[in-house]
Amino acid sequence: MENIQSKTEEKNLVKCLIIGSGPAGYTAAIYAARANLNPVLYQGMQPGGQLTTTTEIENFPGYPEGVSGFDFMEDLKKQALRFNVDIRHGVVTAYELSGKNHKLTIDDRQEIETQTLIICTGATAKYLGLPDEIKYSGKGVSACAVCDGFFYRKKTVAVVGGGDSACEESLYLAGLASKVYLIVRKNYLRASQIMQERVLNHPKIEILFNTNTVGLFGEDVLEGANLVRFMGEPGEEKFDIAIDGFFLAIGHKPNSDVFKHVLATDENGYIQTQWGTARTSVSGVFAAGDVADANYQQAIVAAGTGCIAALEAERYLNFN
């Protein structure tokens, strides 16, 4: 009964609608609320975003002792509520981004119109799809070396991937761990030349070319990986390596699917914004955080672009 009542009281014409509840979404909401835009923020399928799945955040300025990803997102939510942000649950299932007001449908049933839209739907790290990745999640498996690498000081880790991310993560981890295996499925690295050279010349990094991961093992926590060299080819060879950490760096997928037929995206699906702004290809629609960031994908950057998006929305409303 309470729910039905509160639904009927929800406003369906707003000045500023924010989709996504990671650092970009909440920062945009805090700024928009303080500018009297009375923002509505929709939490998606993963309230709080990717950070709620990380262990400890130690690189966000202002937390000298570090903070858990969950606590950090709870603090952002509390801060948004302090400024009366209208936080709702639901995912966008349809929309019409044109005219003075943009029309969106949430969960196939509720319609909302907004003068400005800020998309902060984030990105999702790609995994190999092995059941063992779920089994050892938080017990040795990670998709973020910068977030979790510190826990593997003087230990042995593996990184999967052959692009710039995998090389960057390997080099980062090599500064902490005693040994880093880089597991590359092809016989070459796809990364830029300079990154390749750094990885190839690093004494702590051993590259396993032509190698696929087919399983992980360990009693309670991760203890090793089952690998296959030349999988399905002549000379196929199965072998195991002992590792404490297994890091995925096979790319991220921006959560832009629902919008990519209308908004300009790059070839990987990241929403394109005008340089130095959060403006997308549609007037009054802004994007911030990882969904529009193919390069950095850090909480502090997401928060910064969330701030930019809210300031841009405010300016847009003043001039339109």
List residues with catalytic annotation: 144, 147-148
Instruction: State which residue, 183 or 310, has the beta carbon closest to ligand NDP.
Output: 183
- Taking CB under 6 A as the binding criterion, the range among 37-45, 109-117, 165-173, 257-265 that sits at the site for ligand NDP is 165-173
Candidates 25, 90, 140, 161; binder of ligand NDP (CB under 6 A) is 161
47 binds ligand NDP (CB under 6 A): no
Least separation, in Å, of the C-beta of 297 and ligand NDP?
9
Beta strands in 197-257 (DSSP E): 205-208, 211-217, 224-229, 237-242, 245-248, 252-254
* Residue 118, burial from CB neighbour count under 10 angstroms (0-12, 13-18, 19+): buried
Is there a contact between 204 and 179 (Cβ–Cβ < 8 Å)? yes
Cβ at position 112, least distance to ligand NDP in Å: 34
In three-state secondary structure terms, 119 is: strand
Binder among 44, 49, 149, 162 for ligand NDP (CB under 6 A): 162
If the CB atoms of residues 86 and 290 are measured against ligand NDP, the closer one turns out to be 290
* Structure token digits, residue 108: 């196939």
Q: Is 128 in the site for ligand NDP (CB under 6 A)?
A: yes
> Could you say whether residue 190 binds ligand NDP (CB under 6 A)?
yes
Q: Is 185 in the site for ligand NDP (CB under 6 A)?
A: yes
Please identify, among the stretches 39-47, 183-191, 222-230, 299-307, the one whose residues bind ligand NDP according to the rule CB under 6 A.
Answer: 183-191
Please count the residues of the chain: 320
Distance CA 139, CA 219 (A): 11
Question: What sign has the CA pseudo-torsion 170, 157, 293, 299?
Answer: negative
**In this chain, which of 86, 132, 148, 164 binds ligand NDP, going by CB under 6 A?**
164
Q: In this chain, which stretch among 20-28, 163-171, 174-182, 284-292 interacts with ligand NDP, using CB under 6 A? A: 163-171
Among residues 10, 101, 166, 150, the alpha carbon closest in space to that of 320 is found at: 101
CB 288 within 8 A of CB 19: no
Query: Closest approach of Cβ 220 to ligand NDP, in Å?
Result: 26
Residues 6+ apart with CB under 8 A from 296: none
**Interface residues with ligand NDP (CB under 6 A)?**
128, 160-166, 168, 185-186, 190, 250-251, 294-295
